[in-house]
Amino acid sequence: MHEQVFFDDLNVGDIFNSISKTITETEIIEFGWKYDPQPFHISKPDALTSNFGGLIASGFMTAAISFRLLYQSNGFQTTSLGSYGIDELRWLKPVKPDDTLSVSMEIKDLRRSKSRPQSGIATCYFKTINQTREVVMTMESAWILKCRI
């Protein structure tokens, strides 16, 4: 586990990078059946005839994995207090079986909470890339973090 990262430790412009994860065909199909059962997420034959030309991961799967990779790779495990939501989410390229994803997150804005002074809100810009460094997803989110002081 990494050293804890508190709101007070952050500066606008800080960048955090994640570990990587290779996405399997099985994971894509299982996630699709559970949460996003569109033909190009759950059926290889149907996916071949889709406009994607093959099986692709749900964008929601890509977003969930991206957050997990970033969260797991840095010291936010005990200082995260949730989020106010996602302000912008863009799926730019499909994620296919055997793609390897990694994430970078840049701190865009910081403000101490007025109603809960023991926490702060970090506006974060996530960029998920595949193994060929193509950007597959971007997302902006307001993340609530514990303050050290």
Q: What is the pTM of this model?
A: 0.92
10-residue mean pLDDT profile of the chain (149 residues): values are 86 96 98 98 96 97 95 86 94 98 97 93 97 98 92
39 is written with which tokens? 């033909």
Can you tell me the distance from the alpha carbon of 149 to that of 146, in angstroms, rounded to the nearest whole number? Answer: 9
At residue 2, the pLDDT reads 66
At residue 113, the pLDDT reads 92
- Structural domains in the chain plus CATH codes: 12-146 (3.10.129.10)
Residue 66 CB burial class (10 angstroms; 0-12, 13-18, ≥19): buried
How many CB atoms lie under 10 A from the CB of residue 123?
17
Can you tell me the distance from the alpha carbon of 8 to that of 17, in angstroms, rounded to the nearest whole number? Answer: 19
